[in-house]
Homo-oligomer: A and B are copies of this chain.
Amino acid sequence: MKNKKANFSEWYTEITKEAQLCDLRYNVKGFVVFMPWSVISMKRMYGIYERELERTGHKPAWFPALIPESNFHKESQHVEGFTPQVFWVEKAGDNKLEERLAMRPTSETAIYQMYSLWIQGKSDLPLKIYHPSQVWRYETKATRPFIRSREFYWIEAHDAFATRKEAEEQVRQDMEMCRNVIWEQFGVPFIFFERPQWDKFPGADATYAADTMMPDGRVLQLPSTHLLGQNFAKAFNVAYLNERGEREYCHQTCYGPAISRIYAAVISIHGDDAGLVLPFELAPIQAVVVPIPQKGKEEEVSRKAEEVVKALCESGIRAEGDFSESTPGFKFNFWEMRGVPFRVEVGLREKESGIYTVVRRDNRKKEQVGESELASFILAEARRMLEDMKRKAQQEFEAAFSRADSLEKLSSELENGKLVASPLCTIEKEGEECAKAIKEKTGGDVRGIRFDKREKAHGACIACGKKAQAVVYIARQY
């Protein structure tokens, strides 16, 4: 494997191929085939995220993949933001359709016309629904498997409330959900930024997005949650009768965790020069049992290895034995490369002593464990492993933070792969020209202001020199 830190891009390309995560040879540009080793993990990620959405009062629904073009035109910013990216269906069989249909790039315009029918009175609120789905966007930026492709896998959650306060509360709950899932369970650190006005979701009042740091010093956007205000409600007539019998528009939020992209962060941040390091909960195989054959005793060793696999499975561990004809050394490397959290070695000595060698993937630590304790050891060590992976990831993330008060300093910090705090005149519309200048001169993108703490700006805008009103964070981005 390539050195991850020094050659991240090559490392990423190599690991997605060698670990059989995806196949880029599909014959539609920008579309990827996702292979079992990644799909099994992403299905688990879906399950974990959906449980969290249900715990916070969301219910699942399935909306159509095709949306009439006229729906997009109801919200003027939205149509502008999304139609250049749409795959259009104009024909079915030999028939030209009366109106062309968009393959959904996101589903606001499909869903809110239904909300307008479903919401009548206050008892219909809050309405909280999620839709696990794929979306299609004709991306013009360079595609990269899991990170950006023309088809991706995500969950959309669309919530409607009677008051703005509840909608704001939902935004915070969405962030908390990210924390419970992406940080606590997947071990990926991130920070929520309020995006500048020029970079928010088309049609939203405000966009809050989680950014993580990839090993090459570029930020990757994870879920974003959008305070839609009443913009879509007015466009789609999503309203309820209040106590006085008057119609009031709902306050809405939407939230979109892109599972395939979160997976990219998981493998990039935890991986090492030997390959993947998968969190225990997400690993397709949690423990691989490798028989160490001894001449003439192959049968005996294999049988024992099978017993060990069976016992681990019965304890609820996803265990498999590798009984292929490769050498033990080849198998060790192969399963390390694929990120299996634990390896159990079973040879004649182990069979006779009842003491087995267990190797943990992240730190390669070897332990001698008695047969009857194998499962409980692995389950306990798995918890420690996640904590260690989180600690390491958090340290690297924190080390990426930096500051700059001039474009020169900013440039050099970006060159070092930093996420740089700098003063900016404003994140309101008028600041856009400064952001463009920064991008042009340094390659950095203005990610917005921190949501977790209000930082007071000092000094002059790094671009225009006017008094700074905001401390923004700047980084190169995916």
Contact = CB atoms under 8 A, between A and B. Distances in A.
Interface stretch (A29-37, A408-416, A464-472): A29-37
Contact of A88 (B62, B90, B134): B90
B114 A31 contact: no
A460 to B, nearest CB: 40
Interface in A202-235: none
Of A31, A43, A95, the most chain B CB neighbours within 10 A belong to A31
Given A36-B60, A36-B61, A61-B34, A138 B93 contact: yes
Interface string A54-95: 000001111111111001000000000001111111111111
A151 to B, nearest CB: 6
B64 A43 contact: no
Contacts of A114: 23, 25-26, 33
B117 A64 contact: no
A424 to B, nearest CB: 31
B87 A60 contact: no
Given A23-B117, A27-B71, A151-B65, A60 B40 contact: yes
Contacts of A89: 87-89, 103
A461 to B, nearest CB: 35
A83 B92 CA distance: 9
A9 B288 CA distance: 54
Contacts of A85: 92-93
B86 A92 contact: yes
Contact of A93 (B40, B63, B86): B86
A46 to B, nearest CB: 10
Interface string A266-298: 000000000000000000000000000000000
B39 A113 contact: no
Contacts of A32: 64
B68 A87 contact: no
Contacts of A134: 65
A62 B153 contact: yes
Given A64-B151, A71-B27, A93 B101 contact: no
Interface string A352-380: 00000000000000000000000000000
B28 A66 contact: yes
A228 B423 CA distance: 65
Contacts of A40: 59-60
13 contacts: A25-B117, A26-B110, A31-B64, A33-B61, A35-B61, A62-B153, A64-B151, A65-B151, A84-B94, A87-B92, A88-B90, A88-B92, A92-B138
Closest 4 A/B residue pairs (Cβ): A36-B59, A92-B138, A34-B62, A31-B64
